[in-house]
């Protein structure tokens, strides 16, 4: 009886049929494309013993790589969050000559092979590059340094914030600003108290995407970082080095840590976002 009852409750009437089918396809797809390859990562790593795993994963060189990856990714995502918001604002709110071109340029980091980006950035920021020559003269080492890595990651992650914030900004009800103005709010108050809270969820999503992208980036960093162990070696590069030395288990062990770390971080940010959305807006 009880079983029947739960069955009855679970079987909701749906206007569009195909819940089972679509859910089945979705999980199969996710399984084949994401879960299966990732599980081989665990299998491969399992070939090494527990002791070896800890030694590999906790090696000073690996720790330095995680730390560098995390910090540079965070900094670049934050830079993108600020300037991406600004770019989205300009693209949505103003009409100017060349807007279409700027709009199209925003997507270049999406499409460009990352190695090409790396070469281009190297040519710009190295000591004899167009910008680099000036920066080096000022004592700023803009290539083969953590700063170089941040520059490359910023380039790669820029479209994420712009493209997630843009549609929300476009749909923003003009009446909200008008009503705020009629209630006496000045420009800054309208932006800070009305527009920004509305954009916040999309903005955080954009930040998260840029951050996640930066964590996994490899191609554009390979050139500009210089790959100095303990100094400018990010985790994906360390994995690559291990692969080149045929240390497959070592490479997957590091990869597993990166994966776990990213997963926890992304869960945390998503949770933060949901909490923020539910929370009462108080000053």
Partner 1 sequence: MSIKIEHVIKNYQDYLALQDINFEIQTGELIALLGPSGSGKTTLLRVIAGLEVPDSGRILFNGEDTHSKAVQERKVGFVFQHYALFKHMTVFENIAFGLRVKPKKQRLDEKSIQEKVNTLLKLVQLDYLGDRFPKELSGGQRQRVALARALAIEPRMLLLDEPFGALDAKVRKELRQWLRDLHQSLHITSVFVTHDVEEALEVSDRIVVMNEGKIEQIGTPDEVYHHPANTFVYTFIGNVNMFRERSNGRVSYIRPHQLEICRSSVDDTYLESHITHIHMAGPLVKVLLTDSLGHSFQVDISQEDFHKLALQKGESVFVRPKSESHLVQDYAI
Nearest approach, Cβ of 204 to partner 1 (angstroms)?
13
Nearest approach, Cβ of 270 to partner 1 (angstroms)?
18
- Write out the DSSP string of 62-104: HHHHHHHHHHHHHHHHHHHHHHHHHHHHHHHH---TTHHHHHH
| 154 token code pair | 């910023």
Q: Which is nearer to partner 1, 32 or 176 (CB)?
A: 176
Residues 220, 149: Cα–Cα separation, whole Å: 9
| Site for partner 1, rule CB under 8 A | 173, 175-176, 178-186, 189, 193-194, 197-198, 200, 280-283
Beta carbons of 158 and 91 less than 8 angstroms apart: no
Residues 177, 61: Cα–Cα separation, whole Å: 52
Q: Which is nearer to partner 1, 108 or 272 (CB)?
A: 272
Q: Which is nearer to partner 1, 93 or 276 (CB)?
A: 276
Nearest approach, Cβ of 58 to partner 1 (angstroms)?
44
Nearest approach, Cβ of 205 to partner 1 (angstroms)?
16
Q: Which is nearer to partner 1, 19 or 192 (CB)?
A: 192
Beta carbons of 69 and 258 less than 8 angstroms apart: yes
Please name the residue that has the structure tokens 């009437």: 13
């Amino acid at each position: 009886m009880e079983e029947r009852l739960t069955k009855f409750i679970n079987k909701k009437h749906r206007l569009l049929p195909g819940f089972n089918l679509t859910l089945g396809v979705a999980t199969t797809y996710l399984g084949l494309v994401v879960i299966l390859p990732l599980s081989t990562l665990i299998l491969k790593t399992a070939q090494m013993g527990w002791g070896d795993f800890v030694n590999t994963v906790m090696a000073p060189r690996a720790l330095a790589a995680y730390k560098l990856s995390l910090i540079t990714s965070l900094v670049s995502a934050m830079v993108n969050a600020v300037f991406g918001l600004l770019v989205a604002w300009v693209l949505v709110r103003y009409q100017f000559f060349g807007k279409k071109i700027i709009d199209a340029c925003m997507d270049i980091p999406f499409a460009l092979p990352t190695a090409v980006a790396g070469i281009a950035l190297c040519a710009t920021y190295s000591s004899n590059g167009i910008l680099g020559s000036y920066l080096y003269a000022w004592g700023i080492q803009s290539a083969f340094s953590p700063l170089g890595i941040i520059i490359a990651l910023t380039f790669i992650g820029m479209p994420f914030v712009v493209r997630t914030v843009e549609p929300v900004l476009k749909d923003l009800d003009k009446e909200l600003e008008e009503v705020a103005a009629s209630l006496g709010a000045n420009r800054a108050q309208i932006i800070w108290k009305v527009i920004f809270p509305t954009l916040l969820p999309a903005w955080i999503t954009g930040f998260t995407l840029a951050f996640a992208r930066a964590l996994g980036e490899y191609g554009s960093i390979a050139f500009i970082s210089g790959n100095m162990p303990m100094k400018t070696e990010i985790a994906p590069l360390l994995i690559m080095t291990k692969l080149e030395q045929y240390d497959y288990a070592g490479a997957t062990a590091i990869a597993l840590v990166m994966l776990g770390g990213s997963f926890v971080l992304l869960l945390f940010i998503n949770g933060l976002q949901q909490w923020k959305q539910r929370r009462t807006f108080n000053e």
